[in-house]
Chains A and B, each alone.
Chain A
Amino acid sequence: MTATPLAKDDLPADWDQGDPETLGAEHASRLAELEAGGSGWAGFYERAARGLAAAPDLAALKERHTRLLGRERGIVTGRLATLGDLTAAERKTTGRALNLIKRWLTELEGERRGALERALEARSASGFDVTLPGRRPWIGHRHVLGQIQDELLDLFHGLGYSVYSSPEVEEEAYNFAKLNFPPDHPARDAHDTYWVEGGHLLRTHTSPGWVRAMEELRPPLKLVFPGRVYRAEQVDASHMDQFHQIDGLCVDRDVSMADLKGTLNMFARSILGREVKTRLIPIYFPFVEPGAQLDVACAICDGTGRITEGATAGRCPVCKGAGWSELLGAGMVHPHVLRAVGYDPEQVTGFAFGMGLERIAMARHGIPEIRLFLENDLRFLEQF
């Protein structure tokens, strides 16, 4: 091992061909720094630097870099590996020079490689028509009713409601009698019923789930019941014999209509916006007492049904004068329903509500026909 610096001639002469300009502004000061140390490394560095900075192509650059700094046979690397053989004084000056050289050469190599790669990419950039379509995989769309259902279930999840599932083919008792529909009562007329062989029926609402849940569980309860329901109706643009509901049920010691109202309004504001105007009015369902319906004011006429100003004064064209539209049905669980599942109406009270997914989807997306939901036309499904 020797402390003698590597010389210019340890490197091929043709490395000098490069243009000194590419060596950058620091080149002169670097040479000066190596000279100042009196170490005699400046000549070697000068040629090595030129060789890297002016390498004609990536292959040459790689070869030169390996020759200088290759892990196994690089000549600079080799000298660095044997520094330990030198005296302390030699080690100090030589080591300093070698480390500077290694750092600067690494830097130069990186710059040159970047420049060469950029040049190469620029050359190979041909006339690629960026507007040509790509090879595209298919995209799956969640059904619009599923999207609404997810959103509602998320909302109710946040309010503490878990999902409870119950059968679509249901016993008459759960669909009617235990929900306080007396036998031979006209209230059943609103539920045109599909019957199946053996005496069971297709549930006409998701409310039978309340009864099953309450028979199985003890209060306090907070549950939602999503699912498909059936009515034996002729299908047309606004009637379908299968549609989808979500019911909600909350039973505890002291649940009141005030709680119901708070929950319903929070729900309405969440899905229709903070500014939505609602009203709660009485309505009859056999399974709740008192019964209620939540209406939403038409956004255009603010529930008046009329437009009073401007060129379009007259009947509101959006709600056609109705002013309000029904969003959901609700009420306090009827004491007969609580008794039927073995709850004591003096001990617990509960509220419940139910809504149709189709109605919400139609209002929100301007869907004109209820039949579209089960038709599964891809041109429809892919809009959502």
Chain B
Amino acid sequence: MKLPISWLREWVELGASETAVADALTRRGFYVEGIETLGGAYPGVVVARVLEVSRHPNADRLSLCRVDGGAGELRVVCGAPNVRAGMVVPLATIGATLPGGLVIKKSKIRGEESQGMLCSARELGLSEDHEGIVDLERTFGAGEGGEAVALPASGTPLAALVGTPEVVLEVEVPFNRPDGLGIVGLAREVKAALGGRWTTAARDRLAAQAAARGDFDLTLEDAEGCPRYLAQAVEGVRIGPSPRWLRRRLDGVGQRSINNVVDLTNLVLFEFGQPLHAFDLAKLAGPAILVRRARAGERIVTLDGKERALDPEVLVIADRERPVALAGVMGGAESEVTATTTALLLECAWFDPRRVRRGARSLELSTEASKRYERGVDPEIGPAATARFLELLARVSPGARPAAGRERRAGEAAVRTLTLRTARVARLIGVAIGAEESARHLAAMDFAVTAGDPLTVAVPSWRPDVTLEDDLVEEVARARGYDQIPEAPPAGRGVHAVRSERERRVARARGAMLARGLSEAWTSSMVSEREALATAALLGDAAPALVRLTNPMSRESQVMRPNPVAGLLRACAHNLRQGAQAVRLFEVGAGFRARGAGELPLERLMLAAIASGPAHAHAHSDETLKATDSALQPLDLFGAKGLWEAWLEEMRVDTPGWRAYAAAGWKPGASAEVASVTSHIGWAGSLSQPLLRGWDIEVPVHLFVVLLDALSQDAAGRPRATLPGRFPPVRRDLAFFVPVAVTHAALVAALRGAAGEWLASLELFDVYAGTGTPEGMKSLAFALRFQHPERTLTEDEILKVQERMTIAAARECGAQLRER
């Protein structure tokens, strides 16, 4: 809401500067976002008359104008389409400074000299209008009663015509303060904040009551949607341009001038927050007004020229035959006030906020009127607003006189009365404020207060937001100023913070990924359906229960991700496009799965990680490192698996089990699922190129996905300490031939099972199949360490253990010891 300071001063006696007003409003909850100045001193800008307009020889869109600037004829190049001979215009002469700081110099535009500039309203800081040169006759040529007035001679400074600059505050009005959408409401806040008083004119205007004479045909069919309606016919109206003062008021609040009557309804809307509507009385069948719900199939062409189909959710104003306006939203085109109108019907009504909101929503329309009705117009302000309109109408259209009128009210609104305890104020604000002080603050806001403790407080009709005692506490706190509230140091209050096992686990999961050299990504939770299906299939869910948005912004964001993989692949593709050689990213986030009707989706906390590109951030070949060394190569299957294994170890997943796994999207034979002792925890492997192409990725990508909540049972336990052996370990190498189908894990299990407690470690160091291996066999070679906690093992003891291991490997895996 724009608040022009001169308009404010019409209502409140005020000594304060505009910055003090702005600060006071901000500190009372009406945030002032900016202060702008409309108009200015305009040094060097004068009233001028266009004598002749001809085409610019070198540019179709430009004109060459001969202009009388008062001090002789000038040649000016102009780009505005509306310039014409005879027009009275603002001319910025050479040396003039415009409000934006632009200094006018003599210049050549496309080869033609320009001795000045004709200005638009925006260039002059008069309004946002930049559609053409200001037509001074249209803007300033109407007198008080609409009669034409002569404009000053060419060469007169423009400032003399425009008057003093207008300072306007841009106020952010809270949703719960409909009164703030009118100058009167803001004036009341300023008055209370700065100790000002209503002006005499303000008091008169607020006390004025227009009384409608009772002979207009008015029916409230939907009294719930419209409990109050005042219809007042006015005859002898002459429609014409608005006088300067009225245009200036509308410019101040950012409204375009239309004609004197419409401008006046807008003036009252912005002043009182009460929307008014003027119908052309001659175009109302009856003439009569019926306030009712729209009937199915009814249509109306609204003032914006659009034809709209109505439904019974919409409250309409109808005449004898048809809807003529959408109640509280917009008027109809057929009954619009036009240049030929001589009699009008003024509507001043109170509509139910929810009804207007539903109507506006169903028609996807939002107007200055609907905005105010939705939030709640002051139900008692109608008569004063009507009186104000009629008073001003008599000024701008002399001879206009009220004719038939009627007001209908479906019941009287009760005054809301609340009590306010001093103790409640102290309890919520944290400082004792006496009943007298509270009463003073409330009275300054025109609440009717009866002394005592508790105070009895009658809430004024324009404050629908105040319904509880605590709302009054806020009024008192606001009035006193939040900066007057003391500051209490944070107290313990017997509550201490606890970090849950899950929080610690998630933090460890992140840390363990960062330690592997993967950076953390935060990706979109919303993905396309295609992405969701492809990534769900990776995790074995070929027909996922997706959580779909009903109002997505785009196809790229239409479902909630079933896991974070799609986001990581998007990030991967983005970085590759930007020239990244390697992409190593992980994310911890929810994956969503729809459940039964009414139930919230399942949100599974997951960690997903991708790795692609070189294994090292930097490596170069030199004599100690051959070019074929893995450090220079892209991360391979085992390089990636090593990362995930190290992560699992850091997460204390006890001997994770890896099983071959196949699902759409993985590279065949290069994926696995991972299980802990108790449950399935994740998936790992290389992605297939056809899947990657869905994200325009052409390089190999390794993926790892873990269900973080599945780790809880295993990773949570506190490890028991064991004493490290003090006696030197004995190292031995053993190699076995095993049938090709036997897995490493199976052989290790057999070996470990037979070894007993002296086997400290068993590490694979070679896998080989080829020359020298028997048909259908492969060779696996292990480095073993034996250690006794309390003594040195003898050669004999070690040989016995090795023998047991060899026998078990042979029995369980068909392994034969490879002699050297």
A222-B580 in contact (CB<8A): no
**Which residues of chain A come closer than 8 Å to B489, judged between CB atoms?**
262, 266
Q: How far is the CB of B801 from chain A (nearest CB, A)?
A: 31
B358-A257 in contact (CB<8A): no
* Interfacial residues of chain B within 448-491, with CB under 8 A of chain A in the complex: 465, 468, 470-471, 473-474, 477-478, 482-483, 485-491
Q: Could you list 27 examples of A-B contacts with CB < 8 Å? A: A136-B616, A136-B617, A140-B519, A141-B519, A142-B519, A156-B497, A157-B497, A157-B499, A163-B499, A167-B601, A183-B354, A186-B374, A222-B495, A242-B526, A256-B488, A257-B482, A259-B488, A280-B485, A282-B474, A283-B29, A289-B473, A335-B470, A349-B427, A376-B567, A376-B575, A378-B580, A378-B585
Q: How far is the CB of A290 from chain B (nearest CB, A)?
A: 4
A198-B594 in contact (CB<8A): yes
- Contact of B600 (CB < 8 Å), options: A159, A200, A234, A241: A200
**Taking A169-B560, A256-B488, A258-B488 as contacts, is the C-beta distance between A376 and B429 under 8 angstroms?**
no
User: Does A374 sit within 8 A of B, measured CB to CB?
Assistant: yes
**Which residues of chain A come closer than 8 Å to B31, judged between CB atoms?**
281, 283, 293
**Taking A140-B584, A157-B497 as contacts, is the C-beta distance between A146 and B510 under 8 angstroms?**
yes
B618-A134 in contact (CB<8A): yes
User: Does B722 sit within 8 A of A, measured CB to CB?
Assistant: no
A290-B548 in contact (CB<8A): no
- Contact of A186 (CB < 8 Å), options: B375, B474, B547, B549: B375
Contact mask B129-141 → A, CB, 8 Å, 1/0? 0000000000000
| B516, B525, B526, B574 pick with most chain A CB within 10 angstroms | B525
- Name the CB-closest residue of A to B355: A184
Binds B, one of A6-14, A43-51, A187-195: A187-195
Contact mask B728-768 → A, CB, 8 Å, 1/0? 00000000000000000000000000000000000000000
**Which residues of chain B come closer than 8 Å to A259, judged between CB atoms?**
430, 488, 490-491
Q: In the bound complex, what is the Cα–Cα distance between A145 and B587 (angstroms)?
A: 13
Q: In the bound complex, what is the Cα–Cα distance between A202 and B494 (angstroms)?
A: 35
User: Does A34 sit within 8 A of B, measured CB to CB?
Assistant: no
**Which residues of chain B come closer than 8 Å to A311, judged between CB atoms?**
none
User: Does B515 sit within 8 A of A, measured CB to CB?
Assistant: yes
Q: How far is the CB of A360 from chain B (nearest CB, A)?
A: 15
- Name the CB-closest residue of A to B514: A140
A140-B517 in contact (CB<8A): yes
B473-A290 in contact (CB<8A): yes
**Which residues of chain A come closer than 8 Å to B493, judged between CB atoms?**
160, 220, 222, 250, 252
**Which residues of chain B come closer than 8 Å to A186, judged between CB atoms?**
175, 357, 371, 374-375
A280-B482 in contact (CB<8A): yes
**Which residues of chain B come closer than 8 Å to A196, judged between CB atoms?**
547-550, 560, 601
Q: Could you tell me which B residues sit within 8 Å of A by CB distance?
A: 26-29, 31, 33-34, 174-177, 353-354, 357-358, 371, 374-375, 426-431, 465, 468, 470-471, 473-474, 477-478, 482-483, 485-500, 503, 510, 513-526, 547-553, 557, 560, 567, 570-571, 574-575, 578, 580, 582-586, 589-590, 592, 594, 597-598, 600-601, 603, 616-620, 622, 625, 631
**Which residues of chain A come closer than 8 Å to B553, judged between CB atoms?**
232-235, 241
Q: In the bound complex, what is the Cα–Cα distance between A322 and B503 (angstroms)?
A: 39
B571-A376 in contact (CB<8A): yes
B174-A284 in contact (CB<8A): yes
User: Does A263 sit within 8 A of B, measured CB to CB?
Assistant: yes
B176-A187 in contact (CB<8A): yes
B618-A136 in contact (CB<8A): yes
Contact mask A223-244 → B, CB, 8 Å, 1/0? 0000010101111000001100
- Contact of B618 (CB < 8 Å), options: A135, A171, A197, A199: A135
B616-A137 in contact (CB<8A): yes
A197-B580 in contact (CB<8A): no
- Contact of B522 (CB < 8 Å), options: A235, A332, A374: A374
B522-A373 in contact (CB<8A): yes
- Contact of B520 (CB < 8 Å), options: A134, A142, A283: A142
- Contact of B488 (CB < 8 Å), options: A232, A262, A332: A262
Q: In the bound complex, what is the Cα–Cα distance between A283 and B180 (angstroms)?
A: 13
Q: In the bound complex, what is the Cα–Cα distance between A198 and B590 (angstroms)?
A: 19
Q: How far is the CB of A233 from chain B (nearest CB, A)?
A: 8
A141-B520 in contact (CB<8A): yes
B176-A282 in contact (CB<8A): no
**Which residues of chain A come closer than 8 Å to B176, judged between CB atoms?**
187, 284, 286
**Which residues of chain A come closer than 8 Å to B589, judged between CB atoms?**
228
- Name the CB-closest residue of B to A326: B31
- Contact of B26 (CB < 8 Å), options: A160, A281, A286: A281
A141-B499 in contact (CB<8A): no
A258-B429 in contact (CB<8A): yes
User: Does A377 sit within 8 A of B, measured CB to CB?
Assistant: yes
User: Does A22 sit within 8 A of B, measured CB to CB?
Assistant: no
- Contact of A376 (CB < 8 Å), options: B174, B494, B523, B582: B523
Q: In the bound complex, what is the Cα–Cα distance between A138 and B375 (angstroms)?
A: 57
Q: How far is the CB of B159 from chain A (nearest CB, A)?
A: 23
**Which residues of chain B come closer than 8 Å to A146, judged between CB atoms?**
510, 520, 522
A256-B430 in contact (CB<8A): yes
**Which residues of chain A come closer than 8 Å to B597, judged between CB atoms?**
198
- Name the CB-closest residue of A to B28: A282
**Which residues of chain B come closer than 8 Å to A381, judged between CB atoms?**
519-521
Q: In the bound complex, what is the Cα–Cα distance between A321 and B35 (angstroms)?
A: 10
A169-B601 in contact (CB<8A): yes
A379-B620 in contact (CB<8A): no
The 7 closest A-B pairs by CB, nearest first: A138-B517, A258-B430, A256-B430, A282-B29, A140-B514, A284-B174, A290-B474
**Taking A146-B522, A282-B28 as contacts, is the C-beta distance between A168 and B603 under 8 angstroms?**
yes
B427-A133 in contact (CB<8A): no
User: Does A162 sit within 8 A of B, measured CB to CB?
Assistant: yes
Q: How far is the CB of A153 from chain B (nearest CB, A)?
A: 9
User: Does A59 sit within 8 A of B, measured CB to CB?
Assistant: no
A284-B521 in contact (CB<8A): no
| A135, A258, A334, A377 pick with most chain B CB within 10 angstroms | A135
Q: How far is the CB of B778 from chain A (nearest CB, A)?
A: 32
A376-B522 in contact (CB<8A): yes
- Name the CB-closest residue of B to A294: B482
- Contact of A184 (CB < 8 Å), options: B354, B497, B499: B354
**Which residues of chain B come closer than 8 Å to A293, judged between CB atoms?**
31
| A158, A167, A183, A258 pick with most chain B CB within 10 angstroms | A258
A161-B497 in contact (CB<8A): yes
- Contact of B495 (CB < 8 Å), options: A160, A282, A376: A160
**Which residues of chain B come closer than 8 Å to A194, judged between CB atoms?**
526, 549, 551-552
User: Does A88 sit within 8 A of B, measured CB to CB?
Assistant: no
User: Does A170 sit within 8 A of B, measured CB to CB?
Assistant: yes
**Taking A262-B487, A290-B473 as contacts, is the C-beta distance between A140 and B497 under 8 angstroms?**
no
Q: How far is the CB of B557 from chain A (nearest CB, A)?
A: 7
User: Does A209 sit within 8 A of B, measured CB to CB?
Assistant: no
Q: How far is the CB of B274 from chain A (nearest CB, A)?
A: 18
Given contacts A143-B519, A220-B493, A259-B430, could you give 10 more A-B pairs where the C-beta distance is less than 8 Å? Answer: A140-B519, A163-B503, A168-B525, A196-B549, A222-B493, A257-B477, A258-B485, A290-B428, A334-B470, A379-B578
B525-A143 in contact (CB<8A): no
- Name the CB-closest residue of A to B592: A169
**Which residues of chain B come closer than 8 Å to A321, judged between CB atoms?**
34
- Name the CB-closest residue of B to A295: B26
Q: In the bound complex, what is the Cα–Cα distance between A321 and B170 (angstroms)?
A: 14
- Name the CB-closest residue of B to A324: B26
Q: In the bound complex, what is the Cα–Cα distance between A198 and B617 (angstroms)?
A: 47
- Name the CB-closest residue of A to B605: A165
**Which residues of chain B come closer than 8 Å to A145, judged between CB atoms?**
522
A284-B631 in contact (CB<8A): no
User: Does A292 sit within 8 A of B, measured CB to CB?
Assistant: yes
A140-B513 in contact (CB<8A): yes
Q: How far is the CB of A213 from chain B (nearest CB, A)?
A: 13
**Which residues of chain B come closer than 8 Å to A242, judged between CB atoms?**
524-526
A160-B496 in contact (CB<8A): yes
A377-B478 in contact (CB<8A): no
- Name the CB-closest residue of B to A143: B520
User: Does A359 sit within 8 A of B, measured CB to CB?
Assistant: no
A169-B470 in contact (CB<8A): no
